[in-house]
Amino acid sequence: DAVRLRLDLIIDRVLSILKDRYILVAVGTDFSNVLLKLVLQVRQYWLELQPGQWKQLLFLYLKIYFEQLLDPVIVSRILQELISGSILQGRLYPRKLFSFFNKVFESIRELNSSVIESMLISLNLFCLHVAPSCRVQLCHFGESLRNSFIYLWSHSNHEKIREELILFLHLLLRAHHPCGVSDQTEGAYAYNWEHWKVCFIICRSLWFETAEVVNCSLNFHLIGPI
């Protein structure tokens, strides 16, 4: 049997390191790797993490990402696991996470493909979970970052990145036009219709271009609800 770790000791130690800037720079990468590989990627430990610990870890790594004190690839992978775990074991914080992802994708040209992939996966996990209760915020988010997503599609040849981007654009279509409705009186919504018209044209063209990637019907009127 695998050696069972003292999770309480590990989490306490990691949290103390994350809160101390000097120690974080010195050993933060090593302890973050331990957290990622030996804790967050072992599902049995998810049950032992308390909601407050999920929150502390999530908020600290959101902050650390922009401070650039640790390898962004490791931080982005940890955030992916933390968001996934928070959906099941803790809770998410839509306002904070929408703000975080907005800043991330505004600077998309500065990121490498590994970070972009993890961020897109995290974004899709988050948006799929909060979409039913945060439809307005999701629509606004997608419309405001339309240029970033256009750039990402045009300049990335990574299959996984394109697949995740298609999934996100599909979610935007469902949020704006549940069940394919096109009229506001029937339930269609956009934060800014002029911005969404641009997004919609792009979504339609990409959808037709990549039908095999998403493996779904191209009939706009078959788009399901969120």
| pLDDT at residue 106 is higher than 60 | yes
Q: How far apart are CA 11 and CA 55, in angstroms?
A: 12
Lowest mean pLDDT among 119-123, 169-173, 204-208: 204-208
Mean pLDDT of 28-44: 93
Q: How confident is the model at residue 44 (pLDDT cuts 50, 70, 90)?
A: confident
| pLDDT at residue 22 is higher than 90 | yes
Look up residue 92 and give its two tokens. 């998410």
Asked if 105 and 119 touch (Cβ cutoff 8 Å), the reply is yes
Asked if 175 and 142 touch (Cβ cutoff 8 Å), the reply is yes
Of the chain, the percentage scoring pLDDT greater than 70 comes to 89
pLDDT at residue number 80: 97
- Closest to 67 in 3D by CA, of 21, 102, 35: 21
Q: How far apart are CA 138 and CA 91, in angstroms?
A: 18
The separation between the first and the last C-alpha atoms of the chain, rounded to the nearest angstrom, is 42
Q: How confident is the model at residue 180 (pLDDT cuts 50, 70, 90)?
A: confident
pLDDT at residue number 215: 42
pLDDT at residue number 133: 94
Q: Which amino acid would we find at residue 187? A: G
pLDDT at residue number 211: 52
Q: How far is CA 18 from the centre of its chain?
A: 22
Please tell me the pTM assigned to this model. 0.88
Q: How far apart are CA 56 and CA 199, in angstroms?
A: 35
Mean pLDDT of the chain: 87
Mean pLDDT of 87-116: 93
| pLDDT at residue 100 is higher than 50 | yes
Question: Virtual CA dihedral for 4, 5, 6, 9, nearest 10 degrees?
Answer: 180
pLDDT at residue number 207: 62
Domain spans of the chain, in order of start: 1-91, 118-225
Q: How confident is the model at residue 226 (pLDDT cuts 50, 70, 90)?
A: low
Asked if 31 and 13 touch (Cβ cutoff 8 Å), the reply is yes
Phi-psi region of 190 (alpha: psi -120 to 50; beta: other; left: phi over 0): beta
Mean pLDDT of 204-216: 55
Mean pLDDT of 26-35: 95
Asked if 101 and 63 touch (Cβ cutoff 8 Å), the reply is no
